Amino acid sequence: MAAQRARQYAMLAAESTSPAAITQLTEDVQRLALAYPQRPISQILPDLVETQDTLFTLLERRQQPAQSRDLHFLAGITSGLLAKVSHDMADPHSAMLQARTAVLCADQAGHPGLQAWLRGLQSLVAYWAGRYAEAVRYAEAGREYATQAGGTSAVWLPVSAARAYAALGNAEQAKAAIHEAEDAWSRVRPDEMDEMGGICTFNQPRTLYYASDALAWLPGEAATTERYALQAVQAYSDRYDPAWAFGDQAGSHTNLAIARVANGELDAAEDALTPVLDLPADQRINGIVHSVRRVHQAITRAGHASDARDLIDGIEHFTHTPANALPR
Contact 308, 266 (CB under 8 A): yes
Average of pLDDT values for 121-142?
Answer: 98
Largest CA distance in the chain: 69
Share of the chain above pLDDT 90, in %: 86
pLDDT at position 305 is 83
Q: Is 265 left (phi over 0), alpha (psi -120 to 50) or beta?
A: beta
**Confidence (pLDDT) at 121:** 98
pLDDT of residue 49: 94
Q: How many helices (H) and strands (E) does the chain have?
A: 17, 0
Q: Cβ distance 252 to 228 under 8 Å?
A: no
- Residue 325's pLDDT is 58
Confidence tier at 2 by pLDDT (50, 70, 90)? low
Please determine, for residue 9, whether its predicted confidence score (pLDDT) is greater than 70: no
- pLDDT above 70 covers a percentage of the chain that reads 93
Report all structural domains of the chain as residue ranges with CATH numbers, in order of start: 203-327 (1.25.40)
pLDDT over 60 (residue 116) = yes
| The pLDDT value given to residue 99 | 97
Q: C-alpha dihedral over 195, 125, 166, 233, to 10 degrees?
A: 50
**Tens digit of pLDDT for each residue in 215-237?**
999 999 999 999 999 999 999 99
**Whole-number pLDDT of residue 179:** 98
pLDDT the model gives residue 187: 96
- In this prediction, residue 15 carries a pLDDT of 47
> pLDDT by residue (tens digit) across 248-296?
999 999 999 999 999 999 999 999 999 999 999 999 999 999 999 999 9
